[in-house]
Amino acid sequence: ANLVFLGDIFDRGDDVTKALWFIYALEEKAKQKGGRVHLVLGNHEIMVMTKDLRYLSRKEASIPIAYKTTYDYLFHPSKSLLGAWLSANPSVLKIDKAIFAHGGIVDLNTNSIDIYNQKVHTYINDPIFLEIMKDYPDSLAYNAQKWHQIKYFFYAETNPFWYRGYVYTDTLQTQLNLMLNKYNSKIHVVGHTPQSEISQKYKGKFITTDLKDGTTQLLLLVRKKNKYSKYKIDSSGEISELK
């Protein structure tokens, strides 16, 4: 069995750090039992790691004060345990014939999901990554062209962290089909754009899971050969077929 978190653990209330440690520990416990836990990076993971702390709760903001540091430094990709763990997590995840991303995938500009995730990891561990929220690059300290390149990579509206096109319109069936065929997948599952409930569209090939009311529903995918049965589980544990 696989449990997937579709990003945006950050900036979601007073227990973000506690939730991250919980997922970190759960990942190891799942491996010991033959399961897997996956955290897909979302735009808020990127925002916090690049020092955009606009949505931080007061309680979370108070945590680094005791350690005489800054909140983003707690998740530094090379100088903190949680930061190194976060940076090693995927931005795009494929399990069997289902492909997961926080926002949505248009085109990764590579035929390999592994190559894309490696590029994300390499960029996150580049010192320039920590500077991309500045208004302009420090051309005396690093390569300005590379600064623009990395900033665009993480903050372009069509990348997997930010894209909302599939949710906002129903005219992208051809684009979705091309992407699914390219990566040999049958279903695309995303978060990022809040909805009233978990729902599917594009003839069942696209599922959106982010909810306006927090974690009140979970998506359950059951695969038999190349066919998926889709269910949602509410907060009481009741399971119903996804319509």
Write the burial class of residue 26 (CB in 10 Å: 0-12 exposed, 13-18 middle, 19+ buried): middle
pLDDT band at 181 (very low <50, low <70, confident <90, very high): very high
Q: Please provide the DSSP assignment of the chain as one string.
A: -EEEE-S--TTSSS-HHHHHHHHHHHHHHHHHTT-EEEE---HHHHHHHTT--TT--HHHHHGGGGGTS-TGGGG-TTTSHHHHHHHHS-SEEEETTEEEESS--S--SSS-HHHHHHHHHHHHTSGGGGGTTSSS--TTTS-HHHHHHHHHHHH-TTSTTT--HHHH-S--HHHHHHHHHHTT-SEEEE-SS-BSS-EEETTTTEEE--BTTSSSEEEEEEEETTEEEEEEEETT--EEE--
Please report, to the nearest 10 degrees, the dihedral formed by the alpha carbons of residues 160, 12, 137, 104 taken in order: 10
Quote the pLDDT of residue 172. Answer: 98
239-241 β-sheet, strand order:
217-224, 227-234, 239-241
Catalogue all structural domains in the chain, each as residue range(s) with its CATH number: 2-241 (3.60.21.10)
pLDDT tens digits, residue range 116-125? 999 999 999 9
pTM for the structure as a whole: 0.95
Q: Which of 159-163, 214-218, 232-236 has the lowest mean pLDDT?
A: 214-218
Q: pLDDT (tens digit, 9 = 90+) per residue, 58-111?
A: 999 999 998 899 999 999 999 999 999 999 999 999 999 999 999 999 999 999
pLDDT at 199: 96
